[in-house]
């Protein structure tokens, strides 16, 4: 049994426009399973990085200086291979750079100027990820014209990290990408590129997290969930336990979890957590995230 599931982050709109985009990303990624598991999760995230509806790649939020700094990661559960970039600027698809880090270096994480130089050396062309909408909203926020906005992105329509997990022939993998938080301090890095914090995969399963990145780093949320699975805990119980730990430090977020038998769970403690699931080539439209108070 093969499966791929993708999320658009907590507090993201559940309007059809967003759900359709998530579904198309999952369908596109599933079709890549014939090429390979890593191809599938990478392609899924690329679709969302190219969609300005989401805070990843093109459409990412701006930091306090009015710049876009992006984070991304990818991980193969069977081999434990992983790659990530943090604070990268001026590329279209940070998740693709993260894959290059995994496959063509001996490192796991490249940051800032080093990540930028590496991307250029690998042939990634310069790209401006700033949308007109994000720029205008940043200008108004800096001028003090906007007092209330999403805690994750600043925009009236919320969206944050995008992530996906997949299982093909019993092997798990995960990928994730984000522009971070609106008006963040330059250089701030959340959980997305932190292996174990916001993303993790092992032969037992995989997980990706979204929400308050600092909280997931502190709790090592993704690795904790996958380790529970390795001890025989069900995916739903592992996901629920992770979010309950998040609540213990008064933080909000969501998590996707899958085991190597392709059982999936999505749990959050926020207002919304839109996602799309494709199992054995079929879109599962009645699958929804579980919200815990």
Q: Which residues are part of the catalytic machinery? A: 161
Nearest to 177 by CA among 86, 280, 285, 66: 86
User: Is 212:10 a contact under the CB 8 Å cutoff?
Assistant: no
Of 143, 148, 162, nearest to 58 (Cα)? Answer: 162
């Amino acid at each position: 049994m093969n499966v791929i599931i993708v999320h658009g982050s907590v507090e993201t709109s559940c309007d059809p426009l967003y759900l359709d985009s998530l579904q198309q990303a999952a369908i596109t990624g599933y079709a890549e399973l014939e090429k390979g598991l890593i191809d599938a999760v990478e392609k899924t995230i690329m679709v969302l990085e190219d969609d300005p509806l989401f805070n990843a790649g093109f459409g990412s939020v701006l930091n306090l200086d009015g710049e876009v700094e992006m984070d991304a990661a990818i991980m193969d559960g069977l081999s434990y291979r992983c790659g990530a970039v943090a604070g990268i600027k001026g590329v279209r698809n940070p998740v693709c750079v993260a894959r290059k880090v995994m496959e063509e270096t001996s490192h796991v994480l490249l940051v800032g100027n080093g990540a930028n130089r590496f991307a250029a050396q690998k042939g990634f062309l310069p790209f401006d990820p700033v949308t007109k909408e994000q720029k205008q909203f940043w200008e108004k926020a800096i001028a003090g014209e906007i007092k209330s906005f999403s805690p994750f992105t600043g925009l009236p329509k919320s969206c944050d990290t995008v992530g996906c997990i997949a299982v093909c022939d019993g092997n798990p993998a995960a990928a994730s990408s984000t522009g971070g938080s609106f008006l963040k301090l330059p250089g701030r890095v959340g959980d997305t590129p932190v292996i174990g914090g916001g993303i993790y995969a092992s032969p037992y399963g995989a997980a990706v997290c979204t929400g308050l990145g600092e909280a997931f780093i502190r709790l090592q949320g993704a690795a904790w969930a996958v380790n529970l699975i390795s001890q025989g805990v069900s995916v739903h119980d592992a996901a629920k336990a992770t979010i309950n730990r998040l609540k213990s430090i008064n933080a909000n977020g969501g998590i996707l979890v899958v085991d190597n038998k392709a059982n999936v769970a999505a749990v959050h403690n926020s207002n919304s957590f839109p996602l799309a699931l494709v199992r054995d080539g079929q879109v599962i439209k009645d699958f929804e995230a579980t919200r815990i108070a």
